[in-house]
Chains A and B, each alone.
Chain A
């Protein structure tokens, strides 16, 4: 049987019947694989970019030296590690009596630091460059702020504890930004070997002992390490530390997921169409085998083996294509964006092979079952068809498997459900439109011109095929429009949602009587009215009247939230960038309501109606959750996880917080800092410009990545277009030959075919544009949460592109028939 299947496969391949299917399958695997591999490389690269903010992929810190087991495990997993100790200390210039010592943020680092990112120094007036290595023994690297304040230059000795260390480098920034968010102190790096000489770290010293880990597989290490950390220790990744970075990365990944998912759908349609054409041609062979005495099982076995052989070859060629495709995409991306792309795991490649096999087996099985059931009488009566009730069931199972695979490929259930839902709706609408058009055509056929009549009659005669063609063409057009047009529009909408003038400084710890002078200072500097929000730090002590502690929760984030103080605020109005997802915003005069960010509500496992009790030094306030909010963290505005109505927390002392954008010129920015510091010496200013810049950078890189992915998906889309038109090629050839026998001129046949293609293209283009608009709008609203105004140009691109594509693909098929003798075509068909 294997021999028969193999021979059939080889011959069919040489003969051309299996070739289209093999190409469709190889393209499917190549497209899914390369998009998957490339998307993973970009995802890893973006994660690495974001991890620069932390200086590592993951950081474990503790108030005591960390156990060696953590580092040993990381090393065992092939990850890069380094350690540091961070603490606060007064650092001064012993030669400058006029410059008092400054409280500085000292970090004693070991070789390898930083694992992600680089230490940047100014180079000339505007440029900057990276510096490798770490301070030599006896050397200290300080940031520009400290250099300015202590009057230090390269070579100047500074007093650090009991040791004097010479300035070896003055840096602009060092990678770890996210981890030291709440410090205003200047930063200092010293060599770990000098630590003993400073005598600053003694038993009982308040310091943070840290282990930095980075490398492929750090996610698995993070999962493991979370189970190992004990009291006084914590584990941070940049996603957990910075909600705005997490939100940006998630959205970037959702964009890439959408592209990958559409590539699966396009591939599935192309393969389904090719399988259908291929196996329909095999019906005669199956009928002959049955006539010559082959059992159903044997016929089924031969064709199943053939399908598996095609699947295997398709997978091999596809994988090769995927590898080359992603390498090409990666090379182009690196060239354009200068972003180094890490190597991906084998997972996307395996997923592509799985997609390939599910496609061939899923879509080939129903017709294969039909092949086994073909009546042997078909050798005498060609018009007999083969049907199988089981085929539908298997088809449904295949579809379910495909849906699962698509969601797996997307890596995001929400994105998967949205795109698949849109696809299903489009297929249903296509079926209805095709039925309506055919019924209208039947009714008014006589009113059209002869060429149009002939063309429309073709659509009517092949009712089922027309429906199928229209559905697949619409789907192809929708996917292409989503990838080439809508995603660009969505992307712009997302980018616009992150304002270029977003705040880049936070001012916290402002006392109530300092709000007025600070408002004046900020207003003068930026001519904008700053908004100050009260900030109350309180501990969560009860949920629904039951006392809680970190032991009450299993979720790590929940444990941490309960262990430290919550930042609560009060507001009578919903802040910009906040959307109520359930419940109601506070009514006027309401005093005990609470509005929680939906993510934190999930973490704490609380919902509307639950009560939370907060305690601040013995003063307890119980609030009932009345609404859940979605917060746009990447707006960089002041946002709170928990908001209460005005007056509800008056019993607890509050400080104030505001956000503002510092002037771009360093001199002006420094002057503003000085003015603010004078008005509120106790206030802390937090510079988030590096984080904001990083987020903008990530957004820009995702835009470039998407453009490359789209180019690749375009090839799959064009194949779908061709395969859809090719499904009716045989019938069309035969019809054309008959028309010519009956005396139709070539021009007449040509016109009729053109009319048919134009109508098909117009319908598919319109439906595809409708689908793309609706899926795009849903994606904007449900996933990205950005306003999206449909782009009218996609209707023009969709319909013109579809008409042109269908005309070209259809013409390629009909052309030969017009040139061949009609008798030859009829003989070949019969």
Chain B
């Protein structure tokens, strides 16, 4: 299936395949996946463990290179960009939320949120970080390090970091995977609220049916293929 490109398509994958060599044969993790995501849309990628969800997310986010096929962010084919150009595009357009939060343990909540802005050379990084931390309800915990925060609070910091650069596209990998149900619900509500307010496009990987149902659309992966 070849997805059609139109003006509202923000993310498109054509025949995306990722294989890795094992001792005796090549293992295909993602097998000819094609999809497109419209601007402002939310897409859930679901599937059982080992179905290739996270690998597909890595390919769509430009964190990994496909064995064959192509990923487009808007008009740009990722295969035409080298590693640094790709990193620069990520800085401008992409936000990430991870299952394991991926906060730098030595930095405070404010510094963690300000990090992507600082890497891009923004002058008002701290002020914008403060603003986003207040938005996610952590205005009073600006100077706490991850160790001093609960799991839910750490994920809120990660959400603030994902949105602070005003990205067009946010990728989330099992955002509630490390949280209890109640905290997970709170974090999901927050993420969808912000997504709606900012008009961001959201692609999330989950095995949580309830979470997938909150997305406008879902695709299911099985053995690397969309089914």
Contact = CB atoms under 8 A, between A and B. Distances in A.
B87 A380 contact: no
B107 A377 contact: no
Contacts of B90: 291-293, 376
Contact of A379 (B84, B92, B98, B145): B98
B118 interface: yes
Contacts of B194: none
A15 interface: yes
B106 A17 contact: yes
A188 to B, nearest CB: 78
B106 A292 contact: no
Contact of A292 (B57, B96, B100, B105): B96
B63 A380 contact: yes
Contacts of B118: 3-4
Nearest to A295: B84
B102 interface: yes
Nearest to B93: A293
Interface stretch (A5-13, A31-39, A80-88): A5-13
* Chain A CB within 10 A, most for which of B92, B100, B173: B100
A762 to B, nearest CB: 35
A17 B147 CA distance: 14
Given A8-B106, A11-B106, A292 B63 contact: no
Given A11-B106, A379-B96, A379-B102, A293 B88 contact: yes
A288 B102 contact: yes
Nearest to A290: B87
B63 A293 contact: no
B8 to A, nearest CB: 25
Contacts of B105: 15
A298 interface: yes
A376 B116 contact: no
Interface residues on A, range: 20 to 34
Interface residues of B, number: 31
Interface in B117-168: 118-120, 145, 161
Contact of B64 (A7, A15, A289, A375): A375
B107 A380 contact: no
Interface string A281-299: 0001100111111111110
A257 to B, nearest CB: 41
A41 to B, nearest CB: 42
A292 B115 contact: yes
A375 B173 CA distance: 17
A285 B111 CA distance: 13
A295 B90 CA distance: 10
Contacts of B111: 7, 11
B91 A285 contact: no
Given A379-B63, A380-B98, A15 B91 contact: no
B119 A377 contact: no
6 contacts: A11-B106, A15-B106, A293-B94, A294-B91, A375-B64, A830-B100
A52 to B, nearest CB: 59
A376 B145 CA distance: 23
B2 interface: no
A381 B173 CA distance: 11
B104 interface: yes
Nearest to A378: B63
Which 6 residue pairs across A and B have the least CB separation, nearest first?
Answer: A293-B91, A11-B106, A292-B116, A15-B106, A295-B84, A377-B63
Contacts of B88: 293, 295
A14 interface: yes
Contacts of A11: 106-107, 111
Contacts of B89: 293
Interface string A346-389: 00000000000000000000000000000111011100000000
A376 B92 CA distance: 16
A294 B83 CA distance: 10
Nearest to A287: B102
Interface in A158-212: none
B174 to A, nearest CB: 10
B69 interface: no
Contacts of A290: 87
B87 A293 contact: yes
A411 B111 CA distance: 48
Nearest to A15: B106
A50 to B, nearest CB: 55
A291 B104 contact: no
Contact of A295 (B54, B87, B94, B98): B87
Contacts of B173: 380
A292 B98 contact: no
Given A292-B116, A292-B119, 13 more contacts: A8-B106, A8-B107, A292-B91, A292-B96, A293-B92, A294-B119, A296-B84, A377-B63, A379-B63, A380-B57, A381-B54, A381-B58, A830-B100
A136 B139 CA distance: 89
Contacts of B54: 380-381
A238 B92 CA distance: 74
Contact of A376 (B87, B107, B120, B161): B87
B143 to A, nearest CB: 12
Nearest to B111: A7
Contacts of B64: 375, 377
Interface in A290-310: 290-298
B102 to A, nearest CB: 5
Contacts of B98: 379-380
B167 to A, nearest CB: 10
Contacts of B116: 292-293
Contact of B106 (A14, A288, A293, A298): A14
A295 B87 CA distance: 6
Contacts of A380: 54, 57-58, 63, 98, 173
